[in-house]
Amino acid sequence: MSESKLKPILPAANPPAWLGVMGGGQLGRMFAQAAQAMGYQVAVLEPSQDCPAGQVAQRLVNADYSDAAGLDALAAQCAAVTTEFENVPADSLSRLAQTVFVAPDGHGVSVAQDRVAEKRFFVSCAPKSGVLPAPHKVIAAQEDIDAISDDLLPGILKTVRMGYDGKGQVRVKSRADVQAAFESMGKVTCLLEKMLPLAYEVSVLTARGHDGESVVYPIAENVHRDGILFTTTVPGPNVSEESALKAQKAAQAIVAELGYVGVLCIEFFVLTDGSLVVNEMAPRPHNSGHYTIDACVTSQFEQQVRAMARLPLGDVRQHSAAVMLNILGDVWFEGDRDDAREPAWHEILALPGANLHLYGKDDPRRARKMGHLTFIAPTLEQAQQQLNAACAVLGIAA
Contact by Cβ (8 Å): 216, 252: yes
Is 359 annotated to bind a ligand? Reply is: no
DSSP-based three-state secondary structure for 68: helix
d(CA 385, CA 243): 26
Is 166 annotated to bind a ligand? Reply is: yes
Provide the H-helix boundaries in the chain. 26-37, 68-77, 90-97, 106-113, 115-129, 142-146, 175-184, 241-257, 292-295, 300-308, 345-348, 380-394
Strand partners, 339: none
The one-letter amino acid code at 52 reads P
Task: Give the closest residue to 374 by CA, choosing from 282, 288, 246, 259.
Answer: 288
Is 200 annotated to bind a ligand? Reply is: no
Is 91 annotated to bind a ligand? Reply is: no
- Phi, psi (5° rounding) for residue 3? -60, -35
Is 169 annotated to bind a ligand? Reply is: yes
Is 238 annotated to bind a ligand? Reply is: no
Per-residue DSSP letters for 257-311? HTT--EEEEEEEEEETTS-EEEEEEESS--GGGTTHHHHBSS-HHHHHHHHHTTP
Is 395 annotated to bind a ligand? Reply is: no
Task: Give the closest residue to 163 by CA, choosing from 140, 143, 137, 189.
Answer: 189
Helices 26-37, 300-308: axis angle to 10 degrees equals 70
Task: Give the closest residue to 197 by CA, choosing from 139, 242, 149, 154.
Answer: 154
d(CA 371, CA 191): 31
Is 28 annotated to bind a ligand? Reply is: no
For 117, residues 6+ apart whose C-beta sits below 8 A from its C-beta are: 110, 111
Is 20 annotated to bind a ligand? Reply is: no
Is 84 annotated to bind a ligand? Reply is: no
For the chain, what is the largest distance between any 2 Cα atoms, rounded to a whole number of angstroms?
65
d(CA 160, CA 189): 6
Is 281 annotated to bind a ligand? Reply is: no
For 110, residues 6+ apart whose C-beta sits below 8 A from its C-beta are: 90, 117
Is 302 annotated to bind a ligand? Reply is: no
Is 39 annotated to bind a ligand? Reply is: no
Is 271 annotated to bind a ligand? Reply is: no
Contact by Cβ (8 Å): 343, 364: no
Is 242 annotated to bind a ligand? Reply is: no
Residue stretches of the annotated binding site for ATP: 115, 158, 163-169, 193-196, 201, 224, 279-280
Residue stretches of the annotated binding site: 115, 158, 163-169, 193-196, 201, 224, 279-280
